[in-house]
Amino acid sequence: MLELAATGERTLELSFAGDTYNTAVYLRRNSDAEVGYFTGLGEDEHSSAMRAAWREESIVDRSRTIRGRLPGLYMIRTGDDGERSFTYWRDASAARTLFQGAGWTDALDGDLVHLSGITLQLTTRQSRSELLTRLAELRAQGTLVSFDTNFRPAGWSSSEEAAEAFAAIRGVTDILLASIDDETALHGRDSPEAHIRRLAASTPGEVVLRCGADGAYVADEGTVIHVRAKRVAHVVDTTAAGDSFAGAYLAARLAGDPPSRAAQAGNTLAGSVIQHRGAIVPRSA
Please list the active-site residues.
Answer: 243
Residue 247's contacts (CB-CB under 8 Å, 6 or more residues apart) are 22, 23, 24, 25, 26, 27, 28, 29, 30, 269
Contact present, 78 and 239 (Cβ < 8 Å): yes
Q: Where are the beta strands (DSSP E) in 99-215?
A: 112-116, 144-148, 175-179, 206-210
Distances, alpha carbon 118 to alpha carbons 81, 254, 269, in Å: 25, 23, 22
Residue 114's contacts (CB-CB under 8 Å, 6 or more residues apart) are 20, 23, 24, 27, 145, 146, 147, 148, 246, 250
Q: What is the DSSP string of 255-278?
A: TT--HHHHHHHHHHHHHHHTTSSS
What is the longest distance spanned by two Cα atoms in the chain? 52
Put residue 159 in one of left, alpha, beta given phi > 0 → left and psi -120 to 50 → alpha: alpha
Instruction: Please tell me what DSSP assigns to residue 110.
Output: S
Distance CA 100, CA 127 (A): 6
Torsion sign (Cα): 186, 188, 192, 193: negative
First and final CA of the chain: distance in angstroms?
23
Distance CA 69, CA 212 (A): 36
Contact present, 67 and 47 (Cβ < 8 Å): no
